[in-house]
Structure 1
């Protein structure tokens, strides 16, 4: 496909379907409205007044309530030196620029101890250790089942529209230091914020070439409690993970070089941006790329619960696989490589 054709596609999906801003609804839609106007069109939206009856909205901003209610529960704490787990990271500070796909150090701790580690992250100006509760894999119904009564087990109008119950429900607790890199998930995602705010950058599946997906060796942080140091270790045997290379918010020192390195992202249509506040729900369609940051609420953290519903592997999925299989170059110096997802999986599904 010609370069012009792919670039026209980015523009046309916005003009014909998506517009320039994420839709905001004042109240939950009917199942028919949701299915017709958002799911079938693969179009995100933010729904206000979506969960006013949840006890969690009033209770979870108090760390004492959560620590007391979950006092006997072991949970999975994710630790990184910089708040970026499941992200493309330099293998070392003096390695000449080699990169890897880095996952967090994970350890099981009593919830009160894990929550203290998360909250203390925000007080470390040098970001020496950042904790995030982000286990996924249906963690809300396993590790956090003691507080499950504080939320609904599903999003009723979404369940009716999608014709199934959530395959997984996950809980997320972090501070403003935790940032999730661009990625996509093969789920229809209903993402409910309980405390604080979540900030999303969104790109539709048609924009896949703008994210410079490449294959990186998988690595894991290993944290030593005695020395309080992290060591990044490449998995053995070596396994490669396809992941998005672009950081949409590079440091001032890196901004000029990043713009030259990734012109399709920085010079193309702007990503959709939306802030989801406590009490609101984001519908994030399957295979949409998303980057997530957060602002803590009254408890000193941000809390969200998300519901993953199975996506339909229909013609939309076939179209996307065809599009991402096309090699495309923005210039002779900046190739966008095609890849085959069946050669490896996108492990380490990140935020949402």
Structure 2
């Protein structure tokens, strides 16, 4: 499958050019330039000085302002033991090393208390939970509508280029433990950081085989009033979620095993690294794989707002669907970055919905959709 590896390199060159980095624009592009140079070729870019005119850039850095503006608003707070919501964790009630896809426990409460929990959970509190405001599903225009005047309802140059308004606008408030595992979304994503920094790892859709997408049993965290602890339970009725198997930051204890298990990722081309700072917008094209970590501001939190625009299900979608339908071994006997791997013969695409109807694919992408 030398041709597939050549495709990885060619797409990387087309997306990054000679710099090897995500292209940075010093100011927002015209709609025509954005459409021609980034949306049409499915190419990410980082836009500086994009939201400096938003009142949010100054007012949201003060907890008192946020608590006053949202004093009577009930919001959804996602709780996990470690800050990694919608991620793979050891399955409950099993002595094996099997994994499951765990969704967070969602707690509804007044915003001032939610913010207090986010900040107090920065080092994991006595209940062993980390809080992250990451409701998605258009939460900014519903739960946080009191803040609407502090930023734009959409990104004008992006809306004009894409020919539509965003389907959803989401607000994210977390601490240094908040992390989003590798995944992709069927949306054009305009991601604006307001406070702190977001650290993205990016891979183009053509690298699908390197993500080792497999079916995992779905599970969820519940909260026990008796113990005050989160408990992981498998969903009933049982269902499976296709999810990326790769953890790009393995612990020293598991690193060798992870590299051996996922050689196409660890021994192949490095993911693109991109840090988005306050006042900047990352254009994340549809179907790009991304992993997100964050660095909080001096107050201990990171705040971002993102705009999800519907993607066009055009010929590119058909190409990507065809590519992921190709059987590719989970390891290979070709030299990747000078490393030899043995061919195990297993098919990493066996669990993918190869030619599912568009509506079904979109529904699948929303199981654990992330930043």
TM-score, normalisation: structure 1: 0.96
CA distance in 2, matches of 1:115, 1:226: 24
Mean Cα displacement is larger for which, 296-305 or 42-51? 296-305
Q: Secondary structure at the match of 2:11?
A: helix
Alpha-carbon deviations, 1:61-85, whole Å to 9, x = none? 1111111110100000000001111
Q: 2:346 aligns with which of 311, 319, 335?
A: 335
Q: Secondary structure at the match of 1:101?
A: strand
Q: Residue 133 in 1 paired to residue 152 in 2?
A: no
CA distance in 2, matches of 1:337, 1:33: 37
Alpha-carbon deviations, 1:118-176, whole Å to 9, x = none? 11111338992100000000000000001111010000100010010000000000001
Mean Cα displacement is larger for which, 342-351 or 254-263? 342-351
**Offset at residue 95 of structure 1 (A):** 2.3
Contact 2:76/2:108 (CA < 8 Å) preserved in 1?
yes
Alpha-carbon deviations, 1:212-249, whole Å to 9, x = none? 00001111011224422121111111111100000000
Alpha-carbon deviations, 1:274-333, whole Å to 9, x = none? 000000000000000000000001321000000000100000100011011111102443
Any unmatched runs of 5+ in structure 2?
Answer: 333-342
Q: Residue 214 in 1 paired to residue 233 in 2?
A: no
1:143 is matched with which residue?
143
CA distance in 2, matches of 1:127, 1:191: 32
Q: Secondary structure at the match of 2:254?
A: helix
Q: CA-atom RMSD, angstroms?
A: 1.6
Q: Secondary structure at the match of 1:182?
A: strand
Q: Secondary structure at the match of 2:245?
A: coil
CA distance in 2, matches of 1:93, 1:250: 24
Q: Residue 122 in 1 paired to residue 135 in 2?
A: no
- CA separation of 1:185/1:166 partners in 2, compared to 1, >3 Å: closer, same or farther? same
Q: After TM superposition, list the pairs within 5 Å mapping 1:1-352 onto structure 2.
A: 3-19=1-17, 20-92=20-92, 95-124=95-124, 128-329=128-329, 330-331=331-332, 332-333=343-344, 335-338=346-349, 339-340=352-353, 342=356, 345-352=364-371
Q: Secondary structure at the match of 2:274?
A: strand
Q: Secondary structure at the match of 1:154?
A: coil
Contact 2:86/2:368 (CA < 8 Å) preserved in 1?
yes
Q: Secondary structure at the match of 1:107?
A: strand
CA distance in 2, matches of 1:125, 1:254: 26
CA distance in 2, matches of 1:290, 1:114: 27
Mean Cα displacement is larger for which, 8-17 or 113-122? 8-17
Contact 1:185/1:349 (CA < 8 Å) preserved in 2?
no
- CA separation of 1:150/1:22 partners in 2, compared to 1, >3 Å: closer, same or farther? same
Contact 2:186/2:365 (CA < 8 Å) preserved in 1?
no
Alpha-carbon deviations, 1:177-224, whole Å to 9, x = none? 011000000000000000000000000000000000000111101122
Any unmatched runs of 5+ in structure 1?
Answer: none
**Offset at residue 15 of structure 1 (A):** 2.5
**Offset at residue 92 of structure 1 (A):** 3.4
CA distance in 1, matches of 2:255, 2:347: 19
CA distance in 1, matches of 2:270, 2:164: 34
Mean Cα displacement is larger for which, 60-69 or 308-317? 60-69
